[in-house]
């Protein structure tokens, strides 16, 4: 069974850091680009970041550029999101999502989603 | 933040046809394919339509997608109670070094 399981969320103070992880199983992880998508409470979906199969191509939403870093470890079938300088507006459910192809870009769409991990930024 | 505009809500009675619009621009819908996701209450999004009008295996054929110019539409024919959910369009956007953009979302209510 193809599965994505996120972890690492929690309550954190503004300005602090948090690292999210996504464990993949049931498919050949290094054949696919991966993404993080978030959803603030009661709000819509927002793409956060994407990474190609070999980490050669990476992108970020303007709202997180310079503060968040996406990475992957293909040997461990894992995706990560390092979040620094967190703000209240980063409060959201963070989803890990599998792309249809090895690169991220035009033609991308997400065939598998995790259940999400909740990040709450508050003092 | 969202660059794809959808109506906030849509509704219909069981068996009716409901259509959701998604308006974008030349840098996203105008030059890339459109995908649609369904999010049932309390669950993760699920791919509903890809490449403008293709249905993944397991998605009922009462769901259909179309695209024209810088706009796209999702149609649900023969509306069922289990279709009550949030629906999001999405596409790659070529501006600002490239990014994936979602629509504002539409809540479909089955009356």
Express each pLDDT in B55-75 by its tens digit: 999 999 999 999 999 999 999
Contact B2 A109 (CB under 8 A): no
Cβ-proximal residues to B63 (8 Å cutoff; 6+ apart), any chain: B36, B48, B49, B55, B74, B75, B76
pLDDT in tens, A26-80: 999 999 999 999 999 999 999 999 999 999 999 999 999 999 999 999 999 999 9
Q: What DSSP designation does B103 have? A: B
CB atoms within 10 A of CB B78: 14
Q: Which tops the pLDDT comparison, A108 or B24?
A: B24
**Residue A47 Cα, gap to closest chain B Cα (Å):** 6
Residues of B in contact with A113 (CB under 8 A): 44-46
* Spatial separation of the C-alpha atoms in residues A75 and B81, rounded to whole Å: 44
| Alpha helices (H) in chain A, listed in sequence order | none
Residue A87 pLDDT class (50, 70, 90 cuts): very high
* Spatial separation of the C-alpha atoms in residues B111 and B104, rounded to whole Å: 22
pLDDT score recorded for residue A106: 87
Residue B99 pLDDT class (50, 70, 90 cuts): very high
Contact A109 B51 (CB under 8 A): yes
- What are residue A96's DSSP bridge partners? A36
Contact A95 B45 (CB under 8 A): yes
Q: Give one word for A43, left, alpha or beta, with left for phi > 0 and alpha for psi -120 to 50.
A: beta
Q: Assess B102–A contact: CB distance below 8 Å, yes or no.
A: yes
Out of A45, A106, A111, whose CB is closest to B102? A45
């Amino acid at each position: 069974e193809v599965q994505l399981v996120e972890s690492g969320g929690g309550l954190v103070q503004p300005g602090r850091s948090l690292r999210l992880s996504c464990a993949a199983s049931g498919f050949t992880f290094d054949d696919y680009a991966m993404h993080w998508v978030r959803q603030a409470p009661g709000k819509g979906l927002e793409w956060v970041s994407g990474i190609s199969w070999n980490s050669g191509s990476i992108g970020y939403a303007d709202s997180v550029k310079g503060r968040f870093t996406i990475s992957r470890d293909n040997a461990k079938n894992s995706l990560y999101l390092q979040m620094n300088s967190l703000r209240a507006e980063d409060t959201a459910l963070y989803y890990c999502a599998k792309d249809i192809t090895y690169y991220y870009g035009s033609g991308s769409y997400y065939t598998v989603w995790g259940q999400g991990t909740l990040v709450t930024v508050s003092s | 933040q969202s660059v794809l505009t959808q109506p906030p809500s849509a509704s219909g009675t069981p068996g009716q046809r409901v259509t959701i619009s998604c308006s974008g621009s030349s840098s996203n819908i105008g030059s890339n394919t459109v995908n649609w996701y369904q999010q049932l209450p309390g669950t993760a999004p699920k791919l509903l339509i890809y490449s403008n009008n293709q249905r993944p295996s397991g998605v009922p054929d009462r769901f259909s997608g179309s695209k024209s110019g810088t706009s796209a539409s999702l149609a649900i024919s023969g509306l069922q109670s289990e279709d009550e959910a949030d629906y999001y369009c999405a596409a790659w956007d070529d501006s600002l070094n490239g990014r994936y953009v979602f629509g504002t979302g539409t809540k479909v209510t089955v009356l």
